[in-house]
Amino acid sequence: MSLRIGCVADDFTGGTDVAAAFRRAGLRTALVFGVPDADTALPADCDAAVVALKSRSAPADEAVADSLAAQHWLWDRGAAQTFFKYCSTFDSTPAGNIGPVTDALLDAAGAPLTLACPASPPNGRTVYQGHLFVHDQLLSESPLRHHPLNPMTDSSLPRLLAAQTRHRVGLIPLATVRRGVAAVRDALLDRRRDGVRHVIADALTDEDLAVLGAAALELPVVTGAAGLAEGLGRAYPATPHPTAEPRPPAGRAAVLAGSCSARTLEQIAHFRAAGLPTHHLDVLAAAVGRDVAGEALAWYDAQDPDLPVLVFASATPDELAAVQQELGVAEAAAQVEALLGALAVRLVRRGTRRLLVAGGETSGAVTTALGIDAVLVGDEIDPGVPWTHTGDLALMLKSGNFGAPDLFVRALRPVPVKEPM
């Protein structure tokens, strides 16, 4: 069976988030890491595939080239429709690549226009009169105004997008969305007659996104975050799947954390408070040649194999600043990513079968070190945080701020071993 929908996501954990949304909508979904090639094999019998790139902060020409390569690969596997997934907080700058990538995907598809909506109501992201809200605050008044890479100081999506494309940008307001699918389709035709290429739509709820998804079913290119992906996925007629869903295997369980976000730090504290074993990686010691990975492995070998373990480099803002001051930001990140990647390989060799990785960059380092290029998306444990499967390994890639504080403990509970009949 060939794919029905293909998705290009601009980062790894965003890819995981959107893949979970397609699966929630009833589509059997694969997640592919990095630009795939002819040898990249998809799990059998998938309706949707998400190619997760690392293009969010990349220069526009590089992001365009990678996104087009992914789109062609997805077309070759039957995906007639392309969904471009960016962050629900529209992370980008005036020199950003959301506009250029969307224009390139539209040009390649020969499509006149696209529907765009980054709303993700379960995460508090809504769009009203073209303005993006984060919970009860405008984007530009939310903590995202201080984002280290892309400070978001404007909430107007039409203005943000107009700065990134030479084409016309328009809006479908909430009143039209609330009139239903036919009204949105009519509005799309009107905007097309007016020469608009990027049609931003308001949405406050999952029901609004279901209306938009149904109205966008025939568009070759649709863009947004996980909310619209789920709406679109629900508009596809259900198909039966002969292949059984994989379950997380029994076997040792471990967390590798490189994310320093507040939520990850809470999750680590919760794991420790639950009495489960944790081990801290000393990044400065690794930088001066101490065998920090070897020490971590010796620690792992000494633990009760029935308990999940957690190995972390994650640091508080003050600790992080001190390490970065000593090593430089890039060198510090490279040390951490090399350590966690090498550890992932050695833990899996020693029998870890459920591996939870915290952090987008960290996830990239771990999947690369493990040589994993595609996984099948399985049970979602918290919104946007599913188990994924490859061979006899279950992998969970967690975005820094995703998941409840007790996620690590809940996700890594022992898997009941089936009684023999």
Chain positions contacting ligand LCNOYBR7, by CB under 6 A: 11, 13-14, 17, 87-88, 120, 123, 225-226, 360, 399
CA–CA distance, 29 with 23 (Å, rounded to integer): 6
Q: CB-wise, 117 or 332, nearer to ligand ATP?
A: 332
Give the three-class secondary structure for 28.
coil
Q: Using the minimum distance from each CB to ligand ATP, give the nearer residue, 15 or 231.
A: 15
Share in percent of the chain as helix, strand, coil (round to 5): 40, 20, 35
Residue 116 or 323 having the CB closest to ligand ATP: 323
Q: 225 contacts which partner out of ligand LCNOYBR7, ligand ATP, none, CB within 5 to 8 A by kind?
A: ligand LCNOYBR7
What is the SS3 assignment for 234?
helix
Closer CB to ligand ATP, 187 or 396, in the complex = 396
Nearer to ligand LCNOYBR7, 297 or 385 (CB): 385
DSSP letters for 390-409:
ETTEEEEEE-TT-S-TTHHH
Give residues in contact with ligand ATP (CB under 6 A): 13, 258-261, 264, 283, 313-315, 320, 323-324, 332-333, 336-337, 359-362, 399-401
Find which of ligand ATP, ligand LCNOYBR7, none residue 67 binds, CB within 5 to 8 Å per kind.
none
User: Which partner in ligand LCNOYBR7, ligand ATP, none is near 88 (CB below 5 to 8 A by kind)?
Assistant: ligand LCNOYBR7
- 332 makes contact, choosing from ligand LCNOYBR7, ligand ATP, none, with CB < 5 to 8 Å by partner type, with ligand ATP
The least distance separating ligand ATP from the CB of residue 220, rounded to whole angstroms, comes to 29
Closest CA to 5 of 106, 75, 66: 75
Burial 69-89 (b: 16+ CB within 10 A, else e): bbbebbbebebebbbbbbbbb
When the beta carbons of 5 and 313 are compared against ligand ATP, the nearer one is 313
Contact 354, 248 (CB under 8 A): yes
In angstroms, give the least distance from the CB of 113 to ligand ATP: 31
Name the burial class of residue 266, with classes exposed (0-12), middle (13-18) and buried (19+) by CB atoms within 10 angstroms of its CB.
middle
Binding site partner of 17, from ligand ATP, ligand LCNOYBR7, none, Cβ cut-off 5-8 A by kind: ligand LCNOYBR7
CB of 92 to ligand ATP, least distance (A): 15
In 3D, which of 170, 160, 17, 180 has the Cα closest to residue 83? 17
Q: Which does 361 bind (CB under 5 to 8 A by kind): ligand ATP, ligand LCNOYBR7, none?
A: ligand ATP
Q: What is the DSSP letter of 384?
A: T
Q: Which two tokens stand for residue 172?
A: 């479908």
Tokens at 61, concatenated: 């020409």
Q: Which of ligand ATP, ligand LCNOYBR7, none lies near 333, with the C-beta cut-off 5 to 8 A by kind?
A: ligand ATP
Containing 293, the helix (H) or strand (E) segment is: helix 292-301
